[in-house]
């Protein structure tokens, strides 16, 4: 901690934009600021009307939100695109000037014990047992509760996500010789140049002689003042009146489907405003959400309960992501979509939909009126991306369920075809590129040396199978468990060690024990093996108890590790016990284990899947031919030989991947 003096306060507000102003006013209204010490970190003086807030609500809701005295104008009718105005009862469209909100907050604060800090805080708090230490340039603040409304930090965009800007620039005009209809506002007028963006005009008539004309752009780049003034001059010129510019308004609102990166500092560090996902991504509307959020937070404080935000239905996030992707990739379709929306759907239904209060059936009706093929094209791309980036654990669960359904319908061939393709594409191939992970290979001689060493390791295990098969089986299970646990734990960012080995054992024992009869049948095909005699002697009751113990331990271990992926894996392993042994093991090996390894190799070797597969192809074919050759030589018992040869090829792969993970472990995590 610095040597600065420390000020202790009850409440700290970082930023005094709309969100924190609304929260502060609501706290004052309910007596929560009485006898409390406050601090505010805000670099701006908030002395000018830097923005206007608009929202729709009923009179009753306006009263509940305690916003009535701030409203400077309201409209009962909205004109959108080419349609005549529409009455929006029972809601009104309200306007609040930013300066009025700031001034009311300042008035409330006059009677408070408060410290102001005019600087930009971009650091992180120091956590104490029941408070936070904020280190500023010349002062420190110790606060019991913090309301953080700083601008959000967005995570890196994925391919199906978009980050656009809603930029706007407007003039509040005083006119001569022209009278506005003060009951009607223009929400979206697309009759302006689009300039390869989605652009439209707002017109808010405050009085018969004053109105705000504002041009808005949805796009990657902000609209410049020069661009906006050119559009405004042309648009206002259509009305043929003389005017005086009273005020200018400009701003930028993020339109993003990206996740917001925040740190969980506990229940007494509250993110507000944009940082708390209060902005509707496709409209930029936030004020109404922030007012409701303030009410709910104060209600929780009054009831002395922890404040938690309700999650909105995921489908609205999906709708927003689709529209943002359309606006990003084909901005010229923005005008077409919004014109269809407002020309074919009653305005009240649109407002309900934009407020995320509509039912699924109403949503379907709305989409049926839109240019559906534009949305379907983007939707298919989005779904495909989500599917291809799905965690292998979830993918394996889906494959397990599909396999069970296919078996029920007598379509087992579908399962075997999928697993066969998976084994040939990544199952065998992810081990056939081990030579690429060896940093000592620089020319053919070193490659040949690597191949010989690789084969000798496998041959050594083969000799153990020949003379000490029970020991070979134990060795195979041990290094397989280590390898499976290592790959899964790397993917899930868990710490390597005994727990990863235990997890690998859990996977193998669950698959083998739940397929007890089939496991014994396979082991009986291996000459000289004795362990299957012990396993075959288990009674029905012993098997049942064993399965229950395995299941309970698996679930408790997943809970101990706090891993949802581990729990999903346990679920599909138990479900796959109703499938044949090879199918159950194949789903884990191909869909989860091999894909985990493939991802790690792609990331570190910086080679795409297609070229990685091509580099693996010669060795994949070599491995397949070796297995096939030994099976043909021992054609009387090819099942046992296949098992032995698979273990012999796997053993050197485990050593190679262990070295790979040891070298690049930190980067992969």
| Rounded percentage of the chain residues whose pLDDT exceeds 70 | 97
Is the predicted pLDDT of residue 2 greater than 60, yes or no? Answer: no
- What does the alpha-carbon distance between residue 362 and residue 352 come to, in Å, rounded to a whole number? 10
pLDDT at 149: 93
- What does the alpha-carbon distance between residue 412 and residue 370 come to, in Å, rounded to a whole number? 41
pLDDT at 501: 93
pTM, to two decimals: 0.72
Give Cβ neighbours of residue 528 (< 8 Å, ≥ 6 apart). 469
| DSSP notation for 526-571 | STT--HHHHHHT--HHHHHHHHHHHHHHHHHHHHHHT-HHHHHHHH
Three-state SS annotation for 599-623: HHHHHHHCCCHHHHHHHHHHHHHHH
pLDDT at 637: 63
Q: With left for phi above 0 and alpha for psi between -120 and 50, is residue 287 left, alpha or beta?
A: alpha
pLDDT at 107: 92
Kindly indicate whether the domain formed by 163-256 is annotated with CATH number 2.20.25.240: no
User: At the topology level of CATH, where does 5-49+93-152+260-302 sit?
Assistant: FAD/NAD(P)-binding domain (3.50.50)
User: Which pLDDT band holds residue 666 (cuts at 50, 70, 90)?
Assistant: very low
pLDDT at 658: 87
Is the predicted pLDDT of residue 323 greater than 70, yes or no? Answer: yes
- The pLDDT tens digits for 347-391 are 999 999 999 999 999 999 999 999 988 999 999 888 888 877 788
> 16 is written with which tokens?
């005094």
- What does the alpha-carbon distance between residue 608 and residue 493 come to, in Å, rounded to a whole number? 22
Give Cβ neighbours of residue 349 (< 8 Å, ≥ 6 apart). 358, 362, 366
pLDDT at 274: 92
User: Who wins on pLDDT, 69 or 80?
Assistant: 69
Mean pLDDT computed over 292-321: 91
Taking a C-beta distance cutoff of 8 angstroms, is the pair 95, 72 a contact?
A: yes
> 532 is written with which tokens?
């299957």
Cα→Cα distances 189→181, 185, 359, Å = 16, 11, 28
Is the predicted pLDDT of residue 667 greater than 50, yes or no? Answer: no
Mean pLDDT computed over 267-286: 92
Is the predicted pLDDT of residue 616 greater than 60, yes or no? Answer: yes
Mean pLDDT computed over 129-146: 89
Taking a C-beta distance cutoff of 8 angstroms, is the pair 326, 65 a contact?
A: no
- The pLDDT tens digits for 412-469 are 888 888 888 888 788 888 888 888 888 888 888 888 888 888 889 888 988 988 889 8
pLDDT at 601: 87
Is the predicted pLDDT of residue 222 greater than 70, yes or no? Answer: yes
Residue 578 phi, psi dihedral angles, 5° rounding: -85, 0
User: Which pLDDT band holds residue 634 (cuts at 50, 70, 90)?
Assistant: low
pLDDT at 635: 61
Half-sphere exposure of 467 (CA within 13 A, CB side): 5
pLDDT at 437: 85
User: Which pLDDT band holds residue 558 (cuts at 50, 70, 90)?
Assistant: very high
User: Who wins on pLDDT, 667 or 563?
Assistant: 563
Taking a C-beta distance cutoff of 8 angstroms, is the pair 146, 125 a contact?
A: yes
> 431 is written with which tokens?
């081990």
- What does the alpha-carbon distance between residue 663 and residue 661 come to, in Å, rounded to a whole number? 5
Average pLDDT for the chain: 89
- The pLDDT tens digits for 202-217 are 999 999 999 999 999 9
């Amino acid at each position: 901690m610095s040597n600065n003096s420390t000020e202790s306060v009850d409440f700290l507000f970082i930023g005094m934009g709309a969100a924190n102003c609304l929260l502060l006013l609501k706290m004052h209204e309910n007596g929560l600021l009485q006898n409390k010490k406050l601090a505010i970190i805000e670099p701006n003086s908030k002395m000018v009307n830097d923005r206007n807030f608009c929202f729709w609500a009923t009179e009753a809701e306006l009263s509940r939100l305690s916003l009535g005295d701030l409203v400077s104008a309201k409209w009962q009718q909205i004109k959108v695109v080419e349609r005549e105005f529409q009455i929006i009862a029972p809601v009104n469209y309200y306007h609040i000037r930013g300066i009025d909100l700031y001034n009311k907050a300042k008035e409330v604060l006059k009677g408070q014990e408060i410290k102001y800090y005019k600087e930009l805080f971009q650091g992180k708090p120091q956590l104490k047992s029941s408070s936070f230490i904020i280190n500023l340039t010349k002062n420190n603040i110790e606060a019991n509760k913090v309301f953080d409304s700083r601008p959000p930090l967005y995570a890196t965009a994925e391919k199906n996500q978009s980050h656009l800007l809603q930029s706007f620039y407007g003039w509040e005009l005083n006119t001569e010789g022209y009278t506005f209809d003060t009951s009607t506002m223009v929400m979206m007028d697309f009759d302006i140049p689009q300039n390869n963006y989605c652009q439209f005009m707002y017109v808010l008539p405050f009085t018969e002689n004053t109105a705000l004309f504002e041009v808005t752009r949805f796009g990657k780049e902000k609209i410049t003042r020069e661009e906006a003034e050119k559009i405004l001059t042309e648009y206002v010129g259509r009305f043929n009146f003389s005017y005086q510019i009273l005020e200018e308004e400009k701003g930028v609102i993020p339109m993003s489907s990206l996740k917001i990166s925040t740190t969980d500092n506990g229940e007494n560090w509250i993110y507000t405003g944009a940082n708390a996902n209060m902005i509707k991504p496709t409209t930029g509307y936030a004020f109404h959400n922030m007012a409701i959020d303030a009410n709910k937070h104060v209600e929780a404080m009054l009831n002395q309960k922890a404040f938690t935000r309700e999650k909105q239905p995921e489908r609205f996030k999906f709708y927003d992501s689709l529209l943002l992707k359309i606006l990003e990739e084909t901005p010229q379709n923005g005008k077409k979509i919004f014109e269809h929306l407002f020309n074919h759907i009653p305005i009240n239904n649109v407002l309900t939909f934009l407020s995320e209060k509509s039912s699924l059936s109403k949503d379907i009706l709305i989409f049926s009126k839109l240019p559906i093929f534009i949305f379907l094209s983007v939707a298919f791309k989005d779904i495909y991306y989500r599917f291809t980036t799905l965690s292998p654990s979830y993918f394996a669960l889906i494959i397990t369920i599909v396999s069970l359904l296919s078996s029920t319908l007598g379509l087992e061939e579908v399962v075997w075809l999928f697993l066969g393709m998976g084994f040939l594409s990544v199952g065998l191939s992810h081990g056939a590129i081990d030579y690429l992970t060896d940093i000592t290979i620089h020319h053919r001689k070193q490659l040949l040396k690597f191949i010989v060493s690789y084969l000798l390791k496998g041959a050594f295990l083969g000799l153990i199978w020949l003379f000490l098969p029970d020991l070979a089986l134990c060795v195979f299970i041990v290094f397989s468990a280590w390898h499976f646990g290592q790959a899964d734990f790397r993917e899930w960012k868990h710490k390597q060690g005994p727990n990863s080995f235990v997890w690998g054992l859990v996977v193998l024992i669950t698959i083998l024990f739940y397929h007890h009869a089939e496991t014994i049948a396979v082991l009986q095909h291996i000459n000289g093996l004795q362990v299957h005699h012990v396993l075959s002697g288990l009674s029905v009751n012993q098997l049942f108890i064993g399965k229950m113990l395995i299941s309970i331990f698996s679930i408790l271990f997943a809970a101990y590790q706090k891993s949802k992926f581990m729990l999903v894996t346990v679920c599909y392993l138990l479900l796959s016990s109703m499938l044949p042994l090879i199918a159950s093991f194949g789903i884990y090996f191909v869909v989860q284990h091999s894909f985990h390894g493939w991802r790690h190799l792609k990331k570190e070797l910086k080679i795409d899947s297609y070229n990685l597969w091509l580099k693996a192809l010669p060795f994949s074919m070599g491995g397949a031919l070796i297995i096939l050759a030994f099976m043909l030589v021992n054609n009387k018992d090819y099942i046992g030989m296949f098992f032995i040869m698979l273990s012999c090829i796997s053993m050197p792969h485990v050593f190679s991947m262990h070295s790979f993970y040891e070298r690049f472990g930190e980067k992969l995590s």
